[in-house]
Amino acid sequence: MQSFRTELENPIVEKDIIDLEKKIRAFREGKIHDEKFRSLRLARGVYGQRQPGVQMVRIKLPFGKVTFKQLLRIADISDKYGSSNLHLTTRQDIQIHYVSLDRTPQLWAELEQDDITLREACGNTVRNVTSSPAAGIDPAEPFDVSPYAQAVFEYFLRNPICQEMGRKFKISFSSSNADTAFSYIHDIGAIPKINENGERGFKIMLGGGLGAQPLLASIVEEFLPEDQLIPYIEAIIRVFDRHGERNNRNKARLKYLIQKIGLEEVLSLAKAERLALKVKTYKINRDTVPAPAIPELSGNVAIEIANPFRYEQWLATNVFEQKQKDFYGVYVKVPVGDIHSDVARKLVEAIRPYVADEIRITQNQGLLLKYVRKEALPALYAGLTALDLSAPGFDSMADVTTCPGTDTCNLGISNSMTLSKVLEDLIYNEYEELIYNREIKIKISGCMNSCGQHGLAHIGFHGSSLKAGTKVLPSVQVLLGGGTVGNGVGRAAEKIIKVPAKRATHVLRAVLDDYTANAIQDETFHAYYDRKGKDYFYQLLKPLADLTTLTEEEFVDWGHQETFATAIGVGECAGVVIDLVATLLFEADEKFGWSKEAFADGRWADAIYHAYNTFISSAKALLLDKNINSSTQTGIIREFDTHYVSTGEIKLNGTFNDLVLQINKNEPSESFAITYIKEANDFLTNVKAKREELVQP
């Protein structure tokens, strides 16, 4: 533990890492309940892996930005603690696999030396804030959204209002109306706009999400001024935290709260929160993401291209002219998003002479290199070719997005990564002309949860299983017709039919052949799909679902040799029975301690929110003593009034509801913080006394 104190300059980060080490030790000793520990480690980017005894560590990279030095640091960390592989994700993160839980604090400490965090990369928090990878160089952008994404990341990191929500919360920033950051599938999606007065702002989408039941976001603001962006997001998160579902994870996203109480009510509740916000306006520092250093070309960079035709394909599909004159952006297609650590090091050395020191991870698991001069393109291509990273067709039909599936994920049902490679090979070998088609997207997930974004694919697959007699075989659910329309409008893919996984190649051929034969000239895939209708595709693919013609090979999943068996991994187990009521009271004590710390630092709003959580945890503890487990914080408040205040078991001056919900009826001032914190302390003391009374023999 001493090494953390000497190596880290940031005391807040140091405290975080030391706290993780202490919590791991307490978990090993059976002092922290498994569910509580899971929540805690997930909020620190540590995720249980399919393989027992090891973890996946997710590195949070706001809007996918990573410098050469940071990428090299991550490669070294992967060698030292993981499997020497870097996995690029659809949320612009990097994941490292096969990490020992006990080594995660030291891993985190070493990452933080280059300003890289794990904090809130997983868990019921504000996840990585994503953006269009081309933000800052996109010729179509009204302005660079990168500083806004960075500001949102910084504001909500460690913010008390979003540390233990019912579920995760996702935010995206698209660079233009092309909506390449998919605003319509996020809890909050933002698209940049400039109004008639030349002022900056955002079109705001609310309540989108994929998963097993995809729902598209609603347009709630056509133009939200830039200084209102962060207050608006904070108000929405406060409503989600208080009113969102907490027991049933399948119904715990913002989209379900909107379904339950209605969009207008959510917006009304958010408006009522504005009085309590930490800030009423928030000026964004537009210089918070500095322009990257651009290398000067030294000497002659002319080079002879061995395969001119392939080079021309690469230029046509992977290179675009930036809004900055005489510079080009270059996309790198990374198969299944995996880069070995040795390749990552060689990549940095290969590109360093030609590109700016700022790489962006893309939503389809590739990389974007920036500020390449035209005369350097051949040399850059040669360097990428030497590393097998110059395949043409970036973000085309031949660039299949996939999650890790059964390779490492607890929830994976079938192997999505091998299937992705198989489908890409099919395109390159049988439909090479489609590497120029950037309209149609193919996406695969290993289960229904859509980490591979199959729910927004034109042609999507997700892992499943089918029963044939007494045997089970790997299968894929086929989905069609999803994708981005633009300016906040998107489409959720429709489920068509389930077929054996080994027949996914036949599905793709059938759809592409039919599209080629029957699409009207210049007809988009969406228009073609709508014109033909869902049943047409069901009938087209129905013969592939015939299980009477199965072969032995079809009982073996892609990339496997053994017969398929459905198996979903399990998480860690504390191995002992824990007193949940005592755990909640311990949490209430901890939160009250955070409240006092925040108050001492002059952070009135944070102190008040920690005090609010002290009320909630204390009340939930006593309700559990009566076997009452409410699914929302508002439910806890209501039930406590019913079962403790109304009965006289706990005496208050008024109702618990009135006491707790002072939080959104007062400005976050010093005077209110003093009063509210004292009331939280008095309430916690009363609850503890009641608990002692209840457990006495």
Sign of the Cα torsion 67, 48, 442, 132 reads negative
Distance of CA 302 to the CA centre of its chain: 41
- Residues 438/395, Cβ–Cβ less than 8 Å: yes
Phi, psi of 214 (to 5 degrees): -65, 135
For residue 109, the model assigns a pLDDT of 93
Instruction: Write the DSSP string, 414-477.
Output: S-HHHHHHHHHHHHHHH-GGGGG--S--EEEESSTT-TT-GGG-SEEEEEEEEEETTEEEEEEE
Rg (CA), the chain: 26
Mean pLDDT (the chain) is 93
CA angle 8, 14, 18 (to 5 degrees): 130
The CATH fold assigned to 401-555 is Sulfite Reductase Hemoprotein; domain 1 (3.30.413)
Q: For the structural domain made of 130-276, what CATH number should be given?
A: 3.30.413.10
For residue 696, the model assigns a pLDDT of 65
Q: For the structural domain made of 2-112, what CATH number should be given?
A: 3.90.480.20
* Tens-place pLDDT, residues 461-508: 999 999 998 899 999 999 999 999 999 999 999 999 999 999 999 999
For residue 429, the model assigns a pLDDT of 96
Sign of the Cα torsion 642, 646, 648, 650 reads positive
- Residues 172/120, Cβ–Cβ less than 8 Å: no
Side-chain-side CA neighbours of residue 235 (13 Å) = 23
For residue 1, the model assigns a pLDDT of 39
Distance CA 627, CA 606 (A): 31
CA-nearest of 48, 31, 149, 53 to 95 is 48
Structure tokens belonging to residue 476: 């894929």
> How far lies 341's CA from each of 76, 79, 109, 394, in Å?
7, 7, 19, 22
CA angle 69, 70, 74 (to 5 degrees): 120
Q: If DSSP codes are grouped into helix, strand and coil, which group holds residue 105?
A: helix
- H helix intervals, 520-579: 525-532, 534-541
Q: Edge-to-edge strand order for the sheet containing 319-321?
A: 65-66, 359-361, 367-373, 327-332, 319-321
Q: Which residues of 463-478 are buried (b: 16+ CB within 10 A; e: fewer)?
A: bbbbeeeeeebbbbbb
Phi, psi of 171 (to 5 degrees): -130, 140
Superfamily name and number for 580-695:
Nucleotidyltransferases  domain 2 (1.20.120.330)
Distance CA 23, CA 37 (A): 8
Q: Which CATH number fits domain 308-386: 3.30.360.10, 3.30.70.3340, 3.40.250.10, 3.40.50.2300?
A: 3.30.70.3340
Structure tokens belonging to residue 589: 């004590």
* Tally of CB atoms within 10 A around 442: 25
Q: Which residues of the chain have pLDDT under 70?
A: 1-8, 564-579, 695-697
By the 10 Å C-beta count (0-12 exposed, 13-18 middle, 19+ buried), 643 is classed as middle
Length of the chain: 697
Structure tokens belonging to residue 363: 């939503």
* Tens-place pLDDT, residues 344-379: 999 999 999 999 999 999 999 999 999 999 999 999
Q: Which residue do the tokens 């599938």 mark?
A: 185
Strands (E) located in 75-215: 85-88, 94-99, 130-131, 171-173, 188-194, 200-206
Same fold for the pair 2-112 and 130-276: no
Structure tokens belonging to residue 222: 């056509």
* Tens-place pLDDT, residues 387-441: 999 999 999 999 999 998 887 787 778 889 999 999 999 999 999 999 999 999 9
Phi, psi of 358 (to 5 degrees): -160, 105
For residue 410, the model assigns a pLDDT of 75
Distance CA 354, CA 380 (A): 7
> How far lies 520's CA from each of 458, 516, 524, in Å?
17, 9, 9
Instruction: Write the DSSP string, 290-352.
Output: PPPP-PPP-S------S-HHHHHHHHHHHEEE-SSTTEEEEEE--GGGEEEHHHHHHHHHHHT
Distance CA 491, CA 486 (A): 10
Structure tokens belonging to residue 237: 């998160």
Distance CA 360, CA 133 (A): 6
Distance CA 360, CA 93 (A): 10
CA-nearest of 205, 219, 145 to 175 is 145
* Tally of CB atoms within 10 A around 484: 23
- H helix intervals, 571-669: 580-600, 604-625, 633-640, 656-660
Boundaries of every domain in the chain:
2-112, 130-276, 308-386, 401-555, 580-695
